[in-house]
Every structure is written in C-alpha cells, then in structure tokens.
Structure 1
Amino acid sequence: MASSELPEWMETDLRQIREAGLFRSRRIFQPLAGGRCLLDGQTLVNLSSNDYLDLAQDPRLVSAASVALSELGVGARASALVSGRTIWHARLEEQLAKFEGAEAALLFPSGYAANLGVISAVAQEADTIFCDRLNHASLIDGCRLSGARFRVFRHDQLEKLKRELAKHTDAGRKFIVTDSVFSMDGLSAPLRDLCDLAEEFGASLIVDEAHGTGVYGGNGRGLAEELGVEDRVTIRIGTLSKAVGCLGGFVSGSEALINWLWNRVRTQIYSTALPPSICAAACAALEIIQTESVRRARLHELSRYLRLGLKERSRLTVPASTGPIIPVILSDPALTMQVARDLQSDGFLVGAIRPPTVPQGTSRLRISLTCAHQREDLERFLKALDGSLARNGESR
C-alpha cells in the first residue's frame, strides 16, 4: 500500500470523523513561562496545561536534569529489569516512597503504563472489577485487558454499587477502581465512602492520583491524604507528568507489593526505563512540592476565583467541582470548537473536548489552571468567553 493511500474502510472512517466535527489536527506547541505558550506562532495564555504547580520550566528542575544528562546521557538504554536502575531511578523511587509515606515505590514509563499494567496484573478472569464511568481511558483499558468481569458504576450513585458488590459472592476477588480526581470533570471521587464499601465487601480499592498528586493534601500527596484514607487504599497510583512537571508513573505501597509488581507487571518489565534526567528533575520537583505549599494555595485561590466567575454566568453549565480542572459544558461539538477558536483569536488556549473522550452531548471546554496564571488573565478570559458566546447565539 502506497504511503499516500488508505484502505477504503479507513477513508470512510476518516470522512465520518470529519463530518461529525470530531477530527483532531496536529499543531506545533511551545510552552512559555508565566502560564503562556506559543501555538503555531501565536502567543497565548495557556489554559490547557496540567502543569498545575508551574514546575516543568522551573530552573531547579532544568538544572537537575542537566546534571544527570551530563553524567549518564539521554536514554536509559534498556528496561530497568534487564539492565538495572540507574542511581537516579533508585533515588527517585526512594524519594517517592518517603513522599508517599510508604515502604517502597516503583516507576513506570508513563501514568498510562502504570494503570494499564497494574490493573491487568492484579485482576484475573475469575475476578470482578467495578470501574467508575468517569475514569481515565488508561484505567478502563487496564480493566478490560485484565479479562475480569467488568462492571461500571457512578460515584454519585453508590447505592447501586453497593448492591452490585453484594451480588458478587463467588470465589473471585473484587476490585473497585477510580481516579481520585476525574480528568474531564474535575470532580472528586468519594474516597471515604468507597473505602467503606471496599472494607464491607472485601474488595480491593485501586486509586489513581494523577490529578491529585501535588494539588491536594497537606503534603501534596493527593486526595487520599486530604481525606485521611491513605492507609485504607489498597494500591495508590500516581503520575509525574502533571503537577510534578516531568514524565512517568509510579505506584507506592508496601515492600511486598512493590516486589510483586516488579516481577509481574508487563508494562514495567517490557518497557525501556525513564530517562535518568527525568528522574533527577522529578526528585527536585518533589522537594519543591513539599517545601513550597504556597504554590498549592495560589492554585486553589485562582481556581475558586474563576469558578465563581463562570457560575455567575447563569446559562453556563459548570459542574460542582473543586480544584484547577474546570469544565464548561457546551454540549454541541461544533459550538465547542467554534468557541475554542474564538478564544484562541482572543489570546487563550483552552481544551475543546468532544466525544469519544467524553459522552455524546457533553462536549466541553476544559479549562485547566496553574499557579503561574494571574487574576488579570482570568478576567480577560471571562470577557473573551462572553464575547464568543454572544456571537454564537448564547448569552449569560
């Protein structure tokens, strides 16, 4: 098949994607300081970033990565299981364990790899997994890959989950799987209630703190820390690619758990390890997260300010979330894309999220804040949003 040709079924599928307004194009992006970015040559206020604590360009992380680059080069060269961990991998795992208040930690090449690998390793065909409907694709994919019976629940309808848990009394194990903070809605999972249900029905609770690490908790360990349930969660998964400002995923827990995962999780065993420079930068980031709580405080202050401003616009649908992820539900994908284009023209980059990432009828702007933003940025954004909605037949 020539490189310029596609099978007919691919051509048909691509045409349908375009006709539905769901085509995704590729763009050239360059992050800048101060919550800005350069997109296809245009400087914008970046309201689509997961770098919540503004660490990705922090000079201390850059310096730590530079030192490790000069010492060990660019790539890790092999999987950690085959060739062993570098000193920076070992240091980061030790620091993560200390940060998480756990005996040990295990690194993965990405948060996706951590979720996919851990869930598919711990659950088997005879088991049943209860997965929240808002979970990230990596959690859902891990659940399906495991081959276990797959049940979907809603975190706002836990009575139904309780009834489902009560039904499954066979020999198979039960797992409850959830994000701590749902990435497209910004809503927090009811971790205390889920811990109660897990304990009542003998289930294991697996929590992904991808959008919780660095953002919630007195020490920045995530929502489980903030709610005081860390010791009640069976497996805690996290990512280094969001508030930590780097790359990779990790699991923290007992030494026995980490040893088991080290020997069983295929996405860790068969993946090249993270670059040592990334591990060095993440070590620096963890120190900042623990010593500069003012970053978290500012992030939440800005989040409250913008959320209040959006809710004052009565025609907008804004879920009752907390934290830096603020969705504005516009429902129609074409309207969502047009508003996003208008905002870009006015100097703002905002994620336009459409199916299949979110359910049909819930297309949205996904606003994501960092502590680098200024109130003036958000005031101008609200005015730009008002103008776009008015031009597109929507009002306050």
Structure 2
Amino acid sequence: MPYFFLFLSTLILGSIMSISSNHWIFMWMGLEINLLSFIPLVFSSSSNQESEASVKYFLVQATGSSLLLLGSLSYYFNTNLLISSSTFFIILSVGLMMKMGVAPFHFWLPQVMSSISWFSCMCLATWQKVAPLLIINKLYMMEQNKMIMSISLLSVIMGGIGGLNQTQLRPLLAYSSISHLGWMLMGAFLSTPMMIMYFLIYSITTLSIMWILMKMQKSNNSVASLNSNSLPLLTLLMILFLSLGGLPPLLGFLPKWGMIQIMSFHNMLLMGILMLSFSLLNLFYYMNIFFNLMLTSAPLIIYKEKQNIFMISITIISTLSICIFPFIMIYAMILLHKPQSYWNFMFYSWNLIRSSSNLHKTINSSSISSTWSPSSKSPVM
C-alpha cells in the first residue's frame, strides 16, 4: 500500500490531538482524523470481507462521533434547553463507549475484527482505545459514577460469556478486549496511573500474541489451526494467552491485583470480587485452548526463518518481566498506603543525610588543603 505510512502517521496524530485538547470540538476533530486514517488501513487488500468490515466500522464510529458532537454542542449551548448537565455527560459517554466497543455497545467489535487483517486488529485492539479512554478519564476522574461502574461490570460479564463458545481467534481476542476494557474503564475514574499501567500491560501482551499469529501467517481464524506450528512458539503463545487471561503469577494478573487493591481502598470490594469472578471466564476459555493444543497429536514443524528470532524476543521480553514486576508492584503498594507523616520523616531524614555528607566532604577538603599548604612545610635548614 503506497500511502501506508501517511495514514499511519495521521492515525497517531489524530489520537494525540484528541488527548492533548482541552476543547470538545478539537477532541472531536482529532477522533475524526483518526477514523478517516484507520479506514484505508482496514481496506488495504480490497477484499469483500474487509470492505464489509470497513463499512461497519465507519457506521458505528460515525454514530459515536455524532453523539459526541451532539453532547458537546448541547452542553455549550445549554442556555435554552431544559436538560440537566448530567444528560450531556451521558450522551458524551455513550458516544465514547460506542467508539471503544464497551458493552452494551460491543456487538460490532467481534464482527469487525473477524474480517480484517492482523495488523488492523493490532491497531483496533490497542491504539484505537487510547483517545476515548483518556477522554472518559478526563470526564470522570476521581468521581464514583454509578453508570460507569455498571458498564464496567457489564463489559467484564459480556466479554467472559461471549468468548466461551468462540472457536475463532480474532473474535476470541475481541471479547477478551471487551473484558479488559471493563477493568480499564473502572480505573479511568479511580486511578489514572493504574489505568495506564493496565493498558500498557494489556497492549504488550495482545500485541505479542497478534504479532506471532501474523508472522505465522494464520489467515485461518480457527483455533484448531494452531496445532501445526513449532513447539517453542506454541509454548510462548500459550504463556501469553494465560497471561492475558490473568493467571497468577503471570504479568496479566498484576494489574487486576492492583485494581482490586484500589477498589477495596474506595470501599468497592464487592464490585472487585464480581469483576474478578467473571474474569475467570476469560481464563477458562484460554486454558481450554491450552489443553486442547497440548493434548493434540498433530506433527510439529520446527521453523528456522530469521524473522522468528524477533517474534521470540518480543514474547520472551513480555513474559520474563514477571520476574521483576511483582517486586516493583509490592513495593509500590506498600508506598501507596504510607501516611503523610511517613513521607515528612523520610524527607527530613534524607535532608539530614545529605547535610551530613556535605559537611563531611567540606571538612575533608579543608584538612587536605591545610596539609598541603606551603605554610605547613618544615623550614629549610
């Protein structure tokens, strides 16, 4: 595709414009630039399936953009309207959630992802969520909104139930994305750093899985087609799937654990237990894939292409971080629960240590200079 890098750069530019804007019109413009740049990437091979997927994606995104524009303009010109301000935020939230594919506005996402290429799936599952998610974070930051809480729980439920009977890879990853969006949406108004950390870990794991499947040239969507690949890649792929499902002590469990800690801090432990319980459905169908593939007796092919070195490197990096990340997470959780007096004591202690060190250096330097001064030399006989 000759204009691939042009559309990719404008895709990134549109999201950055939406994130960095403080006005609703510019946020809407950035999302529209992002939309118009992503459709040519979806329609890269000009197949009938991609044409259908691009039309579905355009209609859904256009509807979400219309709701976003309606809510922002109505909020701006609300002097002659008998509507409360909360209604505007509901309209804005529905438009943004429709763009992301959050339940109950998620029915288009598995259908679109099942008909597009792996690269388009990588963009749709990760980068296309960034701008709407951060805009929702600006709307509801540190505000316990019951609508967002209900939609977060519903997304986790629908993402778990929808993937149970799936035998296709792309729709399976789409329902997994819906479930993880519920957790990220909960973090959008509870803890922005935890939401960003959750999104980064989810993106690393999902991109690694899709990159391996793309390099394996899996045009076949069926899960059963995975059993004809090399054993090392298959093992790494299954580790990534289990990490995406949230199996401890893999990397995918750690952001869920952090979210449970924050939800319990905000007296939302019951909501956290419900979300964690329905997240076990994701882990169930990933372990079902794992056991089905490990127990099959299909012949394994050992690949020797140079491009597999890069795939293995990405996967190893994304899985080996489980050795370091738990200690960082535990240390961060300990620090989050420290009172302000602890930080005052640490600040004064650190200043005292620095002052003592500087005083010691000053005394040493003065003693050295006095030792080597000409006046200290013995007189010549």
TM-score, with length taken from structure 1:
0.26
Q: Which structure shows the higher helix fraction?
A: 2
TM-score, with length taken from structure 2:
0.27
State which structure, 1 or 2, has the greater radius of gyration over its C-alpha atoms. Answer: 2
Higher RCO (CA-CA < 8 Å; seq separation 6+) = 1
